[in-house]
Structure 1
Amino acid sequence: MTTHMKSSSTGRIARLRKFSVAGIATAGAAAAALTMMPSAAHAAEPVSASASTTSVAAVKAKADAKADAHAAKKAKAKKKTYANNLDGWIKESLAIMKAKDIPGSYEGLHRNIIRESGGDPKAENGWDINAQNGTPSKGLLQVIQPTFDAYHVKGTPHELTDPVANITAAANYAADKYGSIDNVDSAY
């Protein structure tokens, strides 16, 4: 490397640049790190590797928490509310069934509900063979407790006469036994 001595500050900067480039080529990345370090007058306090890792992790954790809070807020805002009547129960059940890949239509659910309970979520059959055996059919789709327990759909109340839980459990059972609640046209 050839350096020329110049008295001006521009010449000194040019000479330092030549030296820095040559130093990088000769010494590699370590020289680059040293060349780029500010002078003692301009240097900030050194940051330890663990402190910088911690601060990066803290920033990431904070960003993740903010994103999670935003997603939860968005999901809550999107959560649909349904009327507390037969139409609302069927629509809410259909939304859950869709999310759980349980087949069925509004028409199929409504038709079976009207036939089984007349739309009364507290309906109870006290005379059929299930009732005679001590396990009466209950709810909108006249489900017995063991069937409800076996086909209960997670995310709905674990209560046999809850309208949405009763509908989704019955539709889940009908899907398993008949392909869909839409294929049911009599007691099942």
Structure 2
Amino acid sequence: MPAKGKHRRPKHNPFTRKLALVGTGGAALTLPLISATTAGAVEKTTAPTAHTAAPTAGTATPTTYSVVAGDTLSEIAAKHSVSGGWKELYAANKSVIGDNPSVIRPGIKLKLGAEAKTADATRASRSATRTPITYANNLDGWIRESLAVMAKHGIPGTYNGIHRNVMRESSGNPLAINNWDINAQNGIPSKGLLQVIDPTFQTYHVPGTSTDSYDPVANITAACNYAAARYGSIDNVNGPY
């Protein structure tokens, strides 16, 4: 037994890393104590925090998640069983994440589960209830509807370019047919607003339009598709083509 005497308690700097001994039934458990000097560094621990605590019986699954440093969308999606994985999580939160899904800022709140599904449902509902555009059943309406179809398929052309060629080819008559030129003699007369022969119409027909070459919108769209392939655009056509 050591001799009795006074022992001075060693001094410790409160801002240094220390070890605490915690009694565990006779054994000693060494726990690190993090000093204030490390407060500026973000360390990710395995212990659940307030915003990541696992739901207990009778507790609703969290609908939002606050991002902390080191998080990734794939980890968050897996941890919270997000249907569709990180891609769905990103799609539901793109407005707060930005264009790069690999970079998420600490502090932003992500929608999970019910909230994400509600947002998707809202977007789908808005899309479904959007009033469809109607076009007049005349040359102006036919050209405008054709331009809308062309825009979806990346076919170039302008209203003026189409109108100019229509007036030269058919004077705006969708049932116009040429029964006298070489095409007519070969049994494939030019038809419709932009005087398209059947082989050309079939080759350049645009999905989503009528398969009837006399149909105004189908005729214009197929002709513009052909003109784009051969001349770059219907706007570049200023004579027989």
What interval of TM-score do these two structures reach, taking the shorter chain for normalisation?
A: 0.5 to 0.7
Q: How much is the aligned-residue C-alpha RMSD, in angstroms?
A: 3.6
1:146 is aligned with what amino acid? P
Cα distance 1:59–1:135, how it changes in 2: closer, same or farther (>3 A)?
same
Q: Which moved more, 1:137-146 or 1:94-103?
A: 94-103
How many matched pairs?
Answer: 153
- The question of 1:182 aligning with 2:228 is answered no
For residue 84 of structure 1, what is the aligned residue in structure 2? Answer: 137
Which contiguous aligned blocks of 4+ residues in structure 1 show a shift greater than 6 angstroms?
Answer: none
2:191 is aligned with what amino acid? K
Secondary structure at 1:124 match in 2: coil
Pick aligned residue for 2:179 from 103, 126, 134: 126
Return the alpha-carbon distance in structure 2 between the equivalents of residues 29 and 171 of structure 1.
Answer: 62
Cα distance 1:134–1:63, how it changes in 2: closer, same or farther (>3 A)?
same
For residue 66 of structure 1, what is the aligned residue in structure 2? Answer: 121
Secondary structure at 2:213 match in 1: coil
For residue 161 of structure 1, what is the aligned residue in structure 2? Answer: 214
- The question of 1:143 aligning with 2:208 is answered no
Q: Indicate the structure with greater helix content.
A: 1
- Give the unaligned 5+ runs of structure 1: 4-21, 31-35, 38-42, 46-54
Cα distance 1:156–1:60, how it changes in 2: closer, same or farther (>3 A)?
farther
Pick aligned residue for 1:95 from 148, 160, 179: 148
2:236 is aligned with what amino acid? N
Q: Please report the TM-score for the alignment, with normalisation by the length of structure 2.
A: 0.52
- Give the unaligned 5+ runs of structure 2: 1-21, 33-44, 48-52, 59-80, 84-112
2:174 is aligned with what amino acid? P
1:142 is aligned with what amino acid? Q
Cα distance 1:61–1:150, how it changes in 2: closer, same or farther (>3 A)?
farther
**Which one scores higher on RCO, CA 8 angstroms, separation ≥ 6?**
1
Q: Indicate the structure with greater strand content.
A: 2
**Identity across the alignment (%):** 58
